[in-house]
Every structure is written in structure tokens, then in C-alpha cells.
Chains A and B, each alone.
Chain A
Amino acid sequence: MRCLRAIAPLSVVALGGALMLMQAAQAQEAPEPAVAQADPPAADAGEASPREEITIGLSSDVIEIATDFTGMDLTIFGSVNNPRADSIATGGYDVIVVLEGPPRPLIIREKKRVLGMWVNADSMSFDDVQRSYVLASTGALQDIATDELYRQLALGVDQRFFAPANPREASWRVEAFSAALKELKERDGLYHEGTGDVRFLSQSLFKASLAIPSNIPLGTHRARAFLFKNGMFLDEDSTGLYVTKDSFEQWLFRQSQQNGFLYGLVAVLIAMLTGWLGRLMFRRD
């Protein structure tokens, strides 16, 4: 599998990077790492202890999956920068890593019995539903932070809220369809919370294993890492990940969607050729 080969060099790169960062932290004059940050660094960062930050890295920002892909564990390495000795001693740091799939509109349909038959009787369209949401954490979510904090961060499967395409939909209907949608996504492994799938390898270096399902949507995903300490949110880092399927079958699928007329013409020519060859080979007349 290509993806597994990609992980091996990744670990080396990330470990090397983390070691450098750790050394920098010890030297107490850490340059600002090139990381997207929610808050500006504290003004008095010079003499006082620097902010605790989180960094994640991927060796490759593209995952190429094969057509017989059956799912895998995507390993993401990261580190806590400038950790405090007392927090390490008490095991105070918690990390949550999420891989968010590309948002897309979708329709969910509900079957009902009509004259004994099961018929699609009701449906709802949603805008921008994350097609996948795979989470890994150091422990149970309720042990890391409060629901209130998760709500503010929009973090966790429970905090996925879907916006109906029609804003005037009755709220009870939106709730019912949202719950069904979430259940389907969880059943397919597309929405998944892997409690305990983030492990600290050293005092500041951690490894997250994200359970990527076989039906992982293609497109641009976002890997996000959240750092908590004693129930408080400290920092976030994120990086993009592009999932692609580069195969003949995928190419055919793209042609069928983008060049429908040409695709149909080729389908017809193949059919005529097959029919003609069959006649040549068997000489029915």
C-alpha cells in the first residue's frame, strides 16, 4: 500500500523536527515556529515562560489510495512545544486530533411504507456537510474538557450541526434528519471518535492514529490538532491533506462525469466493436 510507505519517512521527519523544537525550548529562546496560531504570542514572552503550543506535521500532504482500498490508520506525529515540567509530571496535557473531510451538500431520504411497499417518502437537503470526521484523542472527551468548550470549538461528533438548504425547515424535522444522518455516517465509519488513539511517545512528542475508513471521501481534508491542559484549551494547529485516487477506474469515473457525451460515444463504439467481433468469431450467419 502506497500510503503505508508514506508513513515511514513521515515519522523520521516529524521526529527530527520535534527533537529540534525540544532543543529550542530548552535553550529558552525559541524562535516563533511557522505555525498558524489562534492568538498572538504573549507580550511578555521574553523572560516569562513561553506559551505552550502544539505542532503537527505530515511528510506528504497527499494520500493516494488504490481502488481496492480497505481503510487504514493514518499516523500523524506532533509535539507540544514549551511544555511545563509540572504539567508533564502530572500528565496534564491532552491532545485531540481531527481529520475533517471536505464539506459538500447532500440529500438524506427517508423511506416509509406505502401500500406495503417501502418508498422514499420524505427527504431533506443540507448545505456543506463534512463528508467525514475522524477524531483521535488521548482519552474520553468528557475527561478532557467541558461540553461548553467543545461547543465553542465545534469539536467532536456531538458538535456536528447541519444547516438545511431550506432555512425555513421546522426545527424538529432538522433535528430528526440530522440525527439520522449522523447515525448513518457513524455506521459507515465516516464519523468516528477514537478514544485513546493519541498517545504520548515522550514528554512532548505524540502520535495520533486516525481510523480512515475505506469509503474516505476524495478531496481536500483538514487535519487539526487541539492542545488542552487541565480542561483548558491552549492551542490549535492545522494542516491540509489531499486525498486522491489515481487509477484507471477513477479516471473513467471523472470522464463519465465531465465528458459525458464523449464517454457515451466511446461506450457505443466499444459495444459495436464487441458485437461485430462476436459475429466474426462465431459466424452465426
Chain B
Amino acid sequence: MGIYLPVAEISVNLLVLLAMGGAVGFLSGLFGVGGGFLITPLLIFYNIPPAVAVATGANQVVASSFSSALSHFKRATIDVPLGLVLLAGGMAGSAIGVFIYGWLKARGQLDLAISLLYVVFLGVVGSLMLVESVQALWRKRAGRPPELRRGGQHNWIHKLPWKMRFRRSKLYVSILPVLGLGAAIGLLAGVMGVGGGFIMVPALIYLLKVPTNVVIGTSLFQITFVAIFTTIIQATTNQTVDIILGLLLMIGGVIGAQYGVKVGQRLQGEELRAMLAVLIIVVALRLAFNLFVTPDGIFTVID
């Protein structure tokens, strides 16, 4: 079943894209991650131009994060003021990210930059996850209780000025690190097309000491709006959002996620994380390999 993607300007197999969205949705349901960081590399492997893969990735993140954010909104597990400060940083970061994207694109370096960024990010995140989950597995086998990571109640972040009170999170913290974290996530959304939950969640827990019951909801709140903002400015400035491609990925993703959640409930956390870590490392290696393979032709024409 062939379908023509108007902005990517290639014909693809409809079922392959639905399956791709479904597989990533399944993984995101299974591991509780957004999955944006897996979609872009998969699309690149399927010969979708990286520029389109990234901009459309932001569009796809809107669907998956909005769906989950709604649930958190209902259960009141979102710290809205904290989310809004994160969002202010996120929009600034996203605008800068989309500008960098356009700058790289005009110089013919965007595809390379996207691949390199993904290799580095996936490589680092995958390795860290693998080490952490294998250690946890060993501890469990040795019969020791899981290590409780509790840092000191105060660190350097709490010495910064412009403090603000966030009631639901029971926090009194400077808005500078909040804005900074939001901006970093926005930058990733702009340049890489990911939601950035895999950085946001640990940063909120370990750096800002946000209580775990509002971490995921607040993170999703910010990611949803940053992804909306990113999609609109990508569409306006770089014109690389492919609605058809995005829709197929979303449909596959929404369905896949349901099954992922069900399967995830029956598996154990450490094994799951080790599996995801291996998968991420394999994707990173495959992307890296592409950079070194001699291309079909060394000249390319941009009309």
C-alpha cells in the first residue's frame, strides 16, 4: 500500500509507517517514555529526509504527550505554575533550536548534525541506562535492598536568586534553573524533534527535588506545549512538517501504546530498562555506521 508524503516528497508504504508508529508506541507504553528519540532514527533508516523526520517528530510528540497529559490533568498531578515557568524557558529554547536547525539546513550540515546529535545522545543515555539497570539487577540477585538515592535537601541550585514558591511541588526555588532546564528541553525539541522527557524527568527529581507524584504530569504538560510551539514554528520557518507522515505515526503510536502498557505491567522494571538500553545503543550504532559508509554519490543537488 503506497502513499505519497507531500513534504518529504517520497512514496512510502503505508503499512510500514503504521507499523513503525505502532512499534514505537508499544515501546513508549512499555517503558513509559515518549519514544520521539526512536522515531526519528527509524524514519532516517526508512530514507525519510532527516530534516522532515525531526520536524514531523515534534508534531507526533504533540499527539502522544497530549494524550497522557490529559490523564494527569484529570488526576491533578500537574504543577501548573512550575510547568508554565518550564514552558517559558522551553519556548525560548525551541525558538533557538529551530533557528539553529534552519541555519544548519542552509549550510547543508543539518542531516549530519542530526545524526551526530542522535548518536551522542542515544549512546550516552543508552549506556547510562544499561549500567544502572545491570547494577540494579545484580543488587537484586545478591538480595540487597534497592539503593535509595536521596541527595542532601539543599544543593547549589537552592542558593540562586529569584526564588519562587510552587505550592503543589512544595518547593521554594530560584526560577533560573527551571527556565534553564525548560530551555534545554526546548532546544532538543527544535533541533532533534524529541519531547525530552528522558532528560526532564531525572532533572526534575534529582536537581530540583520535585516530588515524584507531580514529576511526570508536569513534564508532560511542558512537553505538550513545547511540541505544539515547535511544530508551528518549524512549519512557519522551515516548512518541513509532513502532516500525512505525522498522522500515520500518531495513529500507529496511539494503538501501539495501549498494548505496551499492558505488557509492561507484567514485566519487571530492571529487565525492561536493560532491554530498552540495549535497543537504544543498537540504534545509535546503526546511525553512526551510516555516517562512515561511502554514499551512492558524493554530489547532491538541492533544487
Would you call B231 and A267 a contact (CB within 8 A)? yes
Q: Would you call A278 and B232 a contact (CB within 8 A)?
A: no
Q: How far is the CB of B30 from chain A (nearest CB, A)?
A: 14
Q: A107-B301, A271-B60 are in contact. Are A252 and B239 (CB under 8 A)?
A: no
Give, as a whole number of angstroms, the nearest-CB distance from A69 to chain B: 10
CB pair B292 A117 closer than 8 Å: yes
A125 to chain B, nearest CB (A): 9
Contacts of A261 in B (CB 8 A): 232, 235-236
Is A275's CB within 8 Å of the partner chain B? yes
Interface residues of B in 61-76 (CB under 8 A from A): 62-68, 70-71, 74-75
Mark A255-285 against chain B: 1 for CB-CB distance below 8 A, else 0: 0110011011111101110111111011011
Q: Are B241 and A267 in contact (CB under 8 A)?
A: yes
A68 and B4 contacting across the interface, CB-CB below 8 Å: yes
How many angstroms between the C-alpha atoms of A120 and B71 in the bound complex? 45
Given contacts A264-B236, A272-B62, A285-B74, contact A109 B244 (CB under 8 A): no
Assess whether B301 is in contact with A106, with CB atoms less than 8 Å apart: yes
Instruction: Tell me, in angstroms, the Cα distance from A107 to B9 when the chains sit together.
Output: 18
Q: Does A123 contact B (CB under 8 A)?
A: yes
Set of chain B residues within 8 Å of A249, measured between Cβ atoms: 4-6, 244
Cross-chain contact B62 with A268 (CB below 8 angstroms): yes
List chain B residues, Cβ under 8 A from A187. Answer: 297
Mask for A16-42, Cβ within 8 A of B = 1, else 0?
A: 000000000000000000000000000
- Contact assessment for A268 and B300 in the assembled complex, using a CB-CB cutoff below 8 Å: no
CA distance A281 to B107 in the complex (A): 45
Residues in A with CB closer than 8 Å to B295 are 111, 118
Q: Does B84 contact A (CB under 8 A)?
A: no
Are the C-beta atoms of B261 and A284 separated by less than 8 Å? yes
Hey, which chain B residues are within 8 Å of A67, CB to CB? 4, 11
Contacts of B65 in A (CB 8 A): 275
Q: CB within 8 Å of A: which of B284-303? A: 291-295, 297-303
Judge if B203 is at the interface, Cβ distance under 8 Å: no
CB pair B303–A282 under 8 Å, yes or no, is no
Contact between chains at A184 and B246 (CB < 8 Å): no
Nearest chain A CB to B33's CB is how many angstroms away? Answer: 15
Interface flag for A84 (CB, 8 Å): no
Question: Are B300 and A109 interface neighbours, CB within 8 A?
Answer: yes
**CB-based contact A263/B70 at 8 Å:** no
What is the CA–CA distance of A177 and B235 in the complex, to the nearest angstrom?
32
The 8 Å CB contact of B232, one of A112, A265, A274, is A265
Q: Is B7 part of the binding interface, using a Cβ–Cβ cutoff of 8 Å?
A: yes
Check if B234 is an interface residue, CB within 8 A of chain A.
yes
- What residue in chain A is nearest B2 (Cβ atoms)? A68
B179 interface contact, C-beta 8 A:
no
| Interchain CB contact under 8 A, B297 and A256 | no
CA distance A274 to B65 in the complex (A): 11
For A131, list chain B residues within 8 Å (CB): 303
Contact status B231-A271, CB under 8 Å: yes
The 8 A CB mask of A206-222 against B (1 = contact, 0 = none) is 00000000000100000
User: Are A275 and B301 in contact (CB-based, < 8 A)?
Assistant: no
Please measure, in the bound complex, the distance between the C-alpha atom of A282 and the C-alpha atom of B251, giving whole angstroms.
13
A46, CB-defined interface residue at 8 Å? no
Residue contact A276 to B291, C-beta cutoff 8 Å: no
Known: A253-B6, A264-B232. A276 touches B243 (CB 8 A): no
Q: Are B247 and A270 in contact (CB under 8 A)?
A: yes
Q: Does A108 sit within 8 A of B, measured CB to CB?
A: yes
Decide if B297 touches A184 in the complex (CB within 8 Å): yes
Report if B108 contacts A (CB, 8 A).
yes
Contact B67 A279 (CB under 8 A): yes
Check B246–A253 contact: CB distance below 8 A.
no
* A181 CA / B291 CA spacing, docked (Å): 23
Q: Which residues of the partner chain B approach A111 to less than 8 Å between Cβ atoms?
A: 295, 298-300
Instruction: Point out the residues of chain B lying under 8 angstroms from A265, CB to CB.
Output: 232
Q: Does B228 contact A (CB under 8 A)?
A: yes
B214 sits at the interface (CB 8 A): no
Which residues on B sit within 8 Å (CB–CB) of A5? none
Tell me how far the C-beta of B286 lies from the nearest C-beta in chain A, rounded to whole angstroms. Answer: 15
With both chains docked as a complex, state the minimum distance between the C-beta of A141 and any C-beta of chain B, in angstroms. 25
Asked if A112 and B4 sit within 8 Å, CB to CB, the answer is: no
Contact A282 B291, CB 8 Å, known A111-B298, A264-B235, A275-B250: no
* B108 x A123 contact (CB < 8 A): yes
Q: Please tell me if the beta carbons of A256 and B63 are within 8 angstroms of each other in the complex.
A: no
Among all A-B residue pairs, the 9 with the closest Cβ atoms: A264-B235, A278-B254, A275-B67, A271-B62, A264-B232, A275-B66, A120-B108, A253-B6, A275-B63
A-B contact pairs, 28 of them (CB 8 A): A68-B2, A68-B4, A109-B300, A111-B298, A116-B292, A118-B292, A118-B298, A119-B112, A181-B301, A183-B299, A184-B300, A249-B244, A250-B6, A253-B7, A253-B9, A256-B239, A256-B242, A263-B239, A264-B235, A266-B243, A268-B228, A270-B247, A274-B250, A275-B254, A276-B70, A278-B258, A279-B71, A285-B74
Beyond known contacts A106-B303, A111-B298, A268-B59: 20 more, CB 8 A cutoff = A68-B11, A118-B295, A249-B5, A260-B235, A261-B232, A263-B243, A264-B236, A264-B241, A266-B243, A267-B246, A271-B59, A271-B250, A272-B66, A272-B228, A274-B63, A274-B254, A275-B62, A275-B65, A284-B68, A285-B75
- B residues at A contact (CB < 8 Å): 2, 4-7, 9, 11, 59-60, 62-68, 70-71, 74-75, 107-109, 112, 228, 231-237, 239, 241-244, 246-247, 250-251, 254-255, 257-258, 261, 291-295, 297-303
